[in-house]
A and B are shown apart, each in its own frame.
Chain A
Amino acid sequence: MAQIKKAEGFIDWLDQRLAVKAFMRVMMSEYWIPKNINFLWAMGVVLIALFAVLLVTGLLLLMYYKPDVNLAFDSVNYTIMQEVEYGWLWRHMHGVAASATFLIIYIHLFTAIYYGSYKKGREMIWLTGMVLFVAFSAEAFSGYMLPWGQMSYWAAQVITNLFSGIPVIGDEVVIWIRGDYVVADATLTRFFMLHVVLLPLVILAVIAVHFYSLRFPHVNNQDSVELDFEAEAQKYKEGRIKESRVVPFWPVFLSKDFFVVGFFMTFFFFLVCYHFDFAMDPINFEPANSMKTPAHIYPEWYFLWNYEVLRGFFFDIGGIAAMDIGLIAFVFANVVFFLLPFLDRNAMNTAPAHKRPAFFVWFWLLIVDMIVLTVYGKLPPTGVNAWVGFFAAVVFLGLFIALPFITKLESKGERQ
């Protein structure tokens, strides 16, 4: 048993029982971050802020939401939006934060790709990050169903139906997921459970692992310099602050993050109050109607690139049905980002993309291609649109198939 003395104050009292001082040192004041970073390194903290917004507003919405096909729409659009004090604000914040989260996730993800932060010891950070991406996708999809509007219903219909493409057991899987032969009350209730209990638990747990996995390889920096963190930390602690190449998480790193978070949240509240249609599609303010198919069915913007990879293959090739090719490409697109650290065959080169000419071209082609896929994922897939979507989907697959070769050549070039 530890030596418990009469406490000198509340903090000391806590410290003797919970070692809060040591905890704060490890988590905050002696958690070392490289100095040569830019604001893109603040995206993680922006995501934490957005997740906090989602959690708090979600709890408030949960007090009035009713997961029942006959009550859901009105509980959201009448009770919450009109009757509950500031209910509209919680809903708008929740909806816009969901969309904003994906914007920041994409920036966070492409930052990691650009600066090579997914390899050379940082594979677990990348993989847990990708698990978070998938968990957030499931969270967003299940949440979108809850207001039980037209697109809630039809997106649920289309997306759950994708599982029928699984060989042999496909049709049974679809029924198992829906809990009914069609998307109905059972479907809504189970996706409600996923949205408010299971997936948030998974997300919280994976966030913890994501942070933990960051501690050993340390945060990368914008020049990908290898730092001796212990030596640099020693310099900082000795007061050679300007000479040291690291700063503590608290208060130095976070002071910058607070500024970035503030900057972003200013814009966020503009969106919440004045420009929310991009995140809260007007069509979902129409009640779900199984007899009336909307003229255009499309997912939220952050799933569009994925959706277009699925839909881009619109004609049979070599006797394989278009639908099957699309599904294979779709599965590929969802899995391939996980494999990125292993597709990069030049694992020891962590230089940022602008110092790796071939990879630099690959990176920007990927960005442009994914934007093309995103835009054409929303446009009606007719005429020339279908072909643009097809070629963009082929380029997407091609880029990932080419990556091992590009990086292998790069590593050969370096050895000569």
Chain B
Amino acid sequence: MRELKILAIVIFFTAVTYWGVEPYAHSQMHPHVAPADFRFKDMEPLHVNGNVDNGKALVEANCLACHGIESVGYAAPMSSEDAAGAYGVVPPDLSHAGVIYAKNYLAGFLKDPVSATKLSHKFNDAKPYAMPSFAFLSDQEIADVVAYLQNIVATKPSDKEVFEEACGRCHSMKYDAWNAKTPIASMKNYLGAEAPDLSMMIRSKKAEYLNTFINEPLKMVEGIAMPRVGLSEASQSQVIAYIEKVGDRKKAERESLGLKLIGFMAIFTLIAYLWKVSIWKRAA
């Protein structure tokens, strides 16, 4: 009885200390923010249905000067190095853009890229953003472009493909042998910061943080150069799954081995307890 009382006291003070330095301290250091918004409510949704054929014509006329769409046979017009030199950053291939990015975001991005990406602190009239605004298109035309981009996606991209298209232009993934398409020097010049390697991001930031952060970086880190990329909820979870696959490759092994180790020690403890009882019966 006395031992249990002592144990309760030890556990109580340990738990209070733990609570103070972990959950409580972290809640103070990282104040609560609104959850991720995958509907991108700040941008006016389109109220018209797009026409795929019109969209195709519009894309061919307006997008292909800079972007490739490899899945339908349009190669990128320039090599990555040349594109990075010309625009500051390598423009994305649009093969899966229709599913990778949220529909509402795509429309808003076409109309006003700087507002959509929330990069007005980095780009303005003096330093224009690489992607021009297509605000001169009507809502119908924008809906047509979006419809076309959605239509050409034949197969769901893999986790890694989503990562490469959505993140891999700026970020490297050293532990999976992926180098950012845009050279580091161009990146620095373009955004004023190096884009970090994402190999260990899952351990340094954790999935929960990444989910809010990727959805809207500026909400989490003041003045950060990373744009809001506008991933749909599904493709963002694919990106996080890929980051986890690379950065925490042994997670499954860890979680299954954990049960065995705990089981082993529990049996050890039980046997030790029985042995102790039998010995102390004689002694005390």
A residues near B (Cβ < 8 Å) are 35, 38-40, 74, 77-78, 81-82, 88-89, 92, 103, 107, 241-242, 247, 251-252, 255-256, 258-259, 261-263, 265-266, 268-270, 272-274, 277-278, 282-287, 295-296, 301, 304, 367, 371, 374-375, 378-380
In the complex, A121→B257 CA distance in Å? 47
Residue of A nearest to B258 (CB): A273
Residue of B nearest to A377 (CB): B21
Q: Which residues of B contact A367 (CB under 8 A)?
A: 13
Q: Is the CB of A380 within 8 A of B29?
A: yes
B contacts with A: majority SS: helix
Q: Is the CB of B204 within 8 A of A378?
A: no
Residue of B nearest to A93 (CB): B261
Q: Is the CB of B3 within 8 A of A285?
A: no
- Would you give 17 A-B contacts (Cβ < 8 Å), ordered by A? A78-B174, A241-B282, A252-B283, A256-B280, A259-B276, A266-B265, A268-B265, A269-B261, A278-B22, A286-B200, A287-B197, A295-B29, A375-B17, A375-B21, A375-B24, A375-B25, A378-B20
Q: Evaluate whether A274 and B255 lie within 8 angstroms (CB atoms) in the complex, with A77-B200, A262-B268, A296-B29 already known.
A: yes
In the complex, A252→B277 CA distance in Å? 10
Q: Evaluate whether A88 and B28 lie within 8 angstroms (CB atoms) in the complex, with A255-B280, A266-B265, A371-B20 already known.
A: no
B178 interface hit (Cβ, 8 Å): no
Q: Output the least CB separation between A209 and chain B (Å).
A: 27
B14 interface hit (Cβ, 8 Å): yes
Q: Is the CB of B265 within 8 A of A371?
A: no
B residues near A (Cβ < 8 Å) are 2-3, 6-7, 10, 13-14, 16-18, 20-22, 24-25, 28-29, 174-175, 196-197, 199-200, 203-206, 249-250, 253-255, 257-258, 261-262, 265-266, 268-269, 272-273, 275-276, 279-280, 282-284
Q: Which of A38, A242, A261, A374 contacts B21 (CB 8 A)?
A: A374
Q: Output the least CB separation between B204 and chain A (Å).
A: 4
Q: Is the CB of B199 within 8 A of A255?
A: no
Residue of B nearest to A222 (CB): B2
Q: A285-B203, A375-B24, A380-B29 are in contact. List 9 more A-B contacts (CB 8 A).
A: A35-B283, A78-B175, A255-B280, A268-B265, A269-B258, A270-B258, A273-B261, A286-B196, A304-B21
Q: Top 9 A-B pairs ranked by shortest CB distance? A: A273-B258, A375-B20, A262-B269, A285-B203, A285-B204, A269-B261, A266-B265, A259-B272, A258-B272
Q: Is the CB of A286 within 8 A of B204?
A: yes
Interface centre among A88, A252, A269, A301 (most CB of B within 10 A): A269
Q: Is the CB of B6 within 8 A of A38?
A: yes
Q: Is the CB of A258 within 8 A of B266?
A: no
Q: Is the CB of A273 within 8 A of B13?
A: no
Q: Is the CB of B265 within 8 A of A262?
A: yes
Q: Output the least CB separation between A307 and chain B (Å).
A: 11
Q: Is the CB of A371 within 8 A of B250?
A: no
Q: Which of A103, A274, A282 contacts B205 (CB 8 A)?
A: A282
Q: Which residues of A contact B282 (CB under 8 A)?
A: 241-242
Residue of B nearest to A77 (CB): B200
Q: Is the CB of A282 within 8 A of B261?
A: no
Q: Is the CB of A107 within 8 A of B10?
A: yes
Residue of A nearest to B273 (CB): A259
Q: Evaluate whether A283 and B284 lie within 8 angstroms (CB atoms) in the complex, with A266-B262, A266-B269 already known.
A: no
In the complex, A92→B254 CA distance in Å? 10
Q: Output the least CB separation between A382 and chain B (Å).
A: 10
Q: Output the least CB separation between A223 and chain B (Å).
A: 11
Residue of A nearest to B279 (CB): A255
Q: Is the CB of A82 within 8 A of B275?
A: no
Q: Which residues of A contact B3 (CB under 8 A)?
A: 38-39
Q: Output the least CB separation between A127 and chain B (Å).
A: 25
Q: Output the least CB separation between A363 and chain B (Å).
A: 12
In the complex, A88→B203 CA distance in Å? 13
Q: Evaluate whether A82 and B249 lie within 8 angstroms (CB atoms) in the complex, with A285-B204, A375-B20 already known.
A: yes
Q: Is the CB of A258 within 8 A of B275?
A: yes
Q: Is the CB of A256 within 8 A of B6?
A: no
In the complex, A74→B174 CA distance in Å? 10
Q: Is the CB of A269 within 8 A of B18?
A: no
Q: Evaluate whether A265 and B21 lie within 8 angstroms (CB atoms) in the complex, with A78-B175, A259-B276 already known.
A: no
Q: Is the CB of A266 within 8 A of B266?
A: yes
In the complex, A355→B239 CA distance in Å? 61
Q: Which of A38, A252, A262, A285 contacts B200 (CB 8 A)?
A: A285
Q: Which residues of A contact B249 (CB under 8 A)?
A: 81-82
Q: Which of A74, A259, A282 contacts B204 (CB 8 A)?
A: A282
Q: Is the CB of B272 within 8 A of A379?
A: no
Q: Is the CB of B272 within 8 A of A273?
A: no
